[in-house]
Structure 1
Amino acid sequence: MAKVNRARSTSPPDGGWGWMIVAGCFLVTICTRAVTRCISIFFVEFQTYFSQDYAQTAWIHSIVDCVTMLCAPLGSVVSNHLSCQVGIMLGGLLASTGLILGSFATSLKHLYLTLGVLTGLGFALCYSPAIAMVGKYFNRRKALAYGISMSGSGIGIFILAPVVQLLIEQFSWRGALLILGGFVLNLCVCGALMRPITLKEDRSTPEQNHVCRTQTQDLKQGSPCSTWTKKWVHTCLCGSLQQEYSFLLMSDFVVLAISVLFMAYGCSPLFVYLVPYALSVGVSHQQAAFLMSILGVIDIIGNITFGWLTDRRCLKNYQYVCYLFAVGLDGLCYLCLPMLQSLPLLVPFACTFGYFDGAYVTLIPVVTAEIVGTTSLSSALGVVYFLHAVPYLVSPPIAGWLVDTTGSYTAAFLLCGFSMIFSSVLLAFARLMKKMKKTQLRFLAKESDPKLQLWTNGSVAYSVTRELDQRDGESVAIAMLGSNLT
């Protein structure tokens, strides 16, 4: 395979080819997240055709989401060690193959393997590398770039929801899956747009990695079968992985990871059960698909406008707080949903939930980059989306079990709502405790020495008192010398 040419830059260009990266990521989110959300439109068709209950049918959507997020670190590894282009193109081929094979399924188990595992694996190779590339090309306008990129999910839902419903009516669910398989092949085109870039922080890697690579190549050329070569390669790989995932030991990232688990549990079931819930309260099939379209349109507005707003100077330093606000309000929307039992009431719900869903989805990469930095963003996003896997896997079947057991959607929606609220409260509490600790340290430092100025940047702390004293001493010396000369 020909070596990929890398764009050379010392800092993110905040434009130029970066807008093509945004366009590519936009198409990737359409072909991955929007298609995944539209699988819920097949829910009633699968349930009727295979004569299965809610819980069994919900596993299809759960497996797609779970495998996509569970294998997200694999997508990061492929993009880091090969290239983002190779990873996305390979993922497009796998996802398209899964959808096409799913159109020939004769049981739910076949759909679990094809539409669930194979398609989910393909989406995993595409999603996190594409998002990480946007973070490498943008810094000052990062939130806006992510807002435009992630709006592909909402636009895709808006366009694909009625189109998929029409395809099911015209060609049955088998024909609709076959056509979607051809559509997802566009991921290969998206991958071709992802030109790699080398940033200043990427170049300033420790010399140990360079020496390790050089000596490994020398040892391989000297004696390919040597046991010393194998040991040295093993040591280098362990050191590389340890550096690549060193952010896992950061307390801020651990808290974010725990909150993501609860947030992911709450956000997934709505996209599976909104259409069945709307049908259960008397809404027609077309109107239920229209609700998904509304959700997608407002999701777009939330992606772009919230990203633009949080890039403004007044909110630039409060993007973390804006993320908490959006997640908490989505949880409150869940708590109100069981009381909404008509189309005129479900439309405002879809607008509100869709807006704040788009808002916090846009800020996930921004908040992650704030914690771990740009260099580790691809690996960190792989871990963050990996943590979505288990909640995405278990939340729809648990919600389906609650619906089958209670005969109502109330318990399922309330559990999801409280889960998202807890995620927001947990992050807020952690940030509050961190600020209180910093304030206490500064107060103690001032009490111990009034002249002490403590500057903190992560774990680094230093005093400028000596520098100020030295400057005072130099000024006094110069004055005395001037008086002697006169």
Structure 2
Amino acid sequence: MRRTFSPQGPGSSDTEGSPGRVILLLRIAQAGADPLCHVSEKERERAREHSRRNQLPDPCGQRMWLKELKKLFGVRGEWGAPGRSTPLHSETKPPAPACTDGGYGWVIAATCFVVTGLTSSVVRSFGLFFIEVQEHFDEQASNISWISAIAVAVFHLTSPVASALSVLLSHRAVIMLGGLFAMLGMLGGSFGLSLVWMYLTTGVILGLGISFSWIPAQSMVNQYFNQRRAMANAIVSSGECVFSFVFIPFFQWLINSMAWKGAMVVIAGLQLNLCVCGALMRPYRPPAKNTPSSGVKRQDSEEKPPLMDFSLLKLPKFLSIIVFALFSVVGFHIPAIYLVPFAQGIGVEKLSATFLVSYWSVADLVGRLGCGWLVNLALVRNIRLLAMMTTVLGTSLMLLPIATSYPSLAAFSCFCGVSFGAAVSLLLTVLIDVVGVSRLDSALGMLMFFRSVGCLLGPPLAGTLVDMTGNYGSGFYAAGGALITSVGFLLLTDFLMTSSEGRPGPELERGPPDSQRKGVEQCSVCVKAAPPP
């Protein structure tokens, strides 16, 4: 006995000669699946006659689209390969998550941990080379400061380019390209031909490499994680602290052993590991979802987002956060340049002065983890917590020059490190609160672009004050003053966010969304936002 089916619903004929049944069977066979029963030539003729009468396409001469077949048969799931039977029904599954929250995502998180560590440790090591390079070229502090200023400024200035290339090409390709640029920048700077040569190599080329490595890595983590995003970004963020704690004394040992030029050659070789990290960055593919209406399993749209969303510049709250970032970046980067020279200026030995950066890094890690725990409690809005931490950091930096002994310097370094780690861990969180995750790439690129102004002018300004006063402590006054100024624009952003809409949106969330709420974008994540200081 042959099994028959009627695609026309209850009450329709399902006999052997039913034209509807024959059309369906023929179309299934033409689509690559097995026909459910034999179709005779007589049935083919009846099907053609039925099609002509109802102005339908010829069932024996035109291939049926797979989508229509699924609709006719009520099939959920994928059709099998040609020559294999496919089940007619399957249970409806819940929609697949937008992020994997695990699996290969942990490989991405570990890889980004290394990328963050390699890039940030190079930027933080500028203070170790400061006096060595100054003595080599016999230049003023303000002129030497331009090397690190150009590197960090180029890093920020080319961030929109890195974001756009990540969309246009792939995150993997851009990170590998960044590793090559970082290696060439350090290797070229090791020749020390002239101060202008240092500006070009250790400034422009190295900054370009850091930008192309760091920006895509931060984006990759947020693509792979949602519910566990806070944990993943905490791992990535800690790379800056761990690598700085280990590498800063190692770099100082290299300088003592083979001079600053030989040390830069070794560091250039280490930067090639960024290419290895880039090779591990497997592009994220959103899993397939089952649509409730048709029950058909399909892939999410593969359309790429726009390269840059300039409509963000129309948002007053985004413009306000840009001005905050411009002033705050001055205070974030000056201490990394002048902490070691200041300690040596009051009589601290080179190696002991280097360990101040390690103390800062350990305290930095404590601040990031502690801030993550505090954010999860949702006791205060993210932006207000950032304002408090920035105020504490600015005040601490302005008081640091009163330290006249190594124990007091170590204590100030630890205290500043905690507040610094808490502040930078909130920057990207607040940015997501302002613009949302969907526009994060564009917002981050533009924010870093405007921050380049502060990166370019901050260190030379502090260097000019050092030349005028003859005291490295003047740089800390400039850093603290810039941070205190930035808090005013942060409070303005908070006011604009509160008054812009009548009801709370994603940008007004204070912490991770409750597990019972649905449809609300998770914005409260403790992630690294500032560039390697």
Displacement of 1:282 in angstroms is: 1.4
SS of 1:324's equivalent?
A: helix
Structure 2 counterparts to residues 71-470 of structure 1, below 5 A: 71-199=158-286, 240-241=306-307, 244-310=309-375, 312-315=376-379, 318-432=381-495, 434-435=497-498, 455=503, 457=505
Question: Per residue, is there more helix in 1 or in 2?
Answer: 1
CA contact (8 A) 2:150 2:199 kept: yes
SS of 1:408's equivalent?
A: coil
Displacement of 1:313 in angstroms is: 4.0
Distance 1:199 1:421 in 2: 43
* Alignment CA distance shift 1:387-1:93 (3 Å): same
Which residue number in structure 1 is paired with residue 117 of structure 2? 30
Question: Residue type of the partner of 2:431?
Answer: T
Distance 1:158 1:457 in 2: 39
CA contact (8 A) 1:72 1:385 kept: yes
CA contact (8 A) 1:47 1:57 kept: yes
Q: Which deviates more from structure 2 when the two are superposed, residues 188-197 or residues 255-264?
A: 188-197
SS of 2:381's equivalent?
A: helix
CA contact (8 A) 2:434 2:497 kept: no
Distance 1:421 1:145 in 2: 31
Displacement of 1:195 in angstroms is: 2.1
Question: Residue type of the partner of 2:250?
Answer: V
Which residue number in structure 1 is paired with residue 530 of structure 2? none
* Alignment CA distance shift 1:245-1:197 (3 Å): farther
CA contact (8 A) 2:320 2:492 kept: no
Distance 1:250 1:140 in 2: 28
- TM-score normalised by length of structure 1: 0.77
CA contact (8 A) 1:91 1:126 kept: yes
CA contact (8 A) 1:302 1:359 kept: yes
Displacement of 1:58 in angstroms is: 1.1
Distance 1:305 1:102 in 2: 38
CA contact (8 A) 1:142 1:366 kept: no
Distance 1:392 1:9 in 2: 43
Residue identity over aligned pairs, in percent, reads 37
Displacement of 1:139 in angstroms is: 2.6
Displacement of 1:10 in angstroms is: 4.0
Distance 2:252 2:356 in 1: 12
Distance 1:110 1:180 in 2: 18
Question: Residue type of the partner of 1:64?
Answer: A
CA contact (8 A) 2:190 2:264 kept: yes
Distance 1:168 1:33 in 2: 18
RMSD of equivalent CA atoms: 2.6
Q: Deviations over 1:48-86 (max 9, x none)?
A: 111111111111111111111111111101111111000
CA contact (8 A) 1:143 1:308 kept: no
- TM-score normalised by length of structure 2: 0.71
Distance 2:173 2:259 in 1: 34
Distance 1:375 1:456 in 2: 17
Which residue number in structure 1 is paired with residue 133 of structure 2? 46
Question: Residue type of the partner of 1:328?
Answer: T
Displacement of 1:458 in angstroms is: 8.5
CA contact (8 A) 2:234 2:369 kept: yes
Q: Which deviates more from structure 2 when the two are superposed, residues 140-149 or residues 259-268?
A: 140-149
Question: Residue type of the partner of 2:108?
Answer: I
Which residue number in structure 1 is paired with residue 5 of structure 2? none
Distance 1:333 1:299 in 2: 14
Q: Deviations over 1:397-437 (max 9, x none)?
A: 11111111122244432222121122123212431355367
Q: How many residues align?
A: 402
Displacement of 1:314 in angstroms is: 3.2
Flag the structure with larger Rg: 2
Unpaired runs of 5+ residues, structure 2, are 1-94, 288-301, 508-533
Unpaired runs of 5+ residues, structure 1, are 1-7, 201-212, 215-236, 442-454, 460-486
Distance 1:429 1:132 in 2: 27
SS of 2:125's equivalent?
A: helix
Work out which structure has the larger RCO, using CA pairs closer than 8 Å and 6 or more positions apart in sequence: 1
Distance 2:129 2:484 in 1: 30
Q: Deviations over 1:146-188 (max 9, x none)?
A: 2221221111211111101100111111110000000010101
Distance 1:356 1:350 in 2: 10
* Alignment CA distance shift 1:71-1:9 (3 Å): farther
SS of 2:99's equivalent?
A: coil
* Alignment CA distance shift 1:199-1:193 (3 Å): same
Distance 2:420 2:504 in 1: 34
CA contact (8 A) 2:327 2:482 kept: yes
Distance 2:350 2:326 in 1: 32
CA contact (8 A) 1:264 1:391 kept: yes
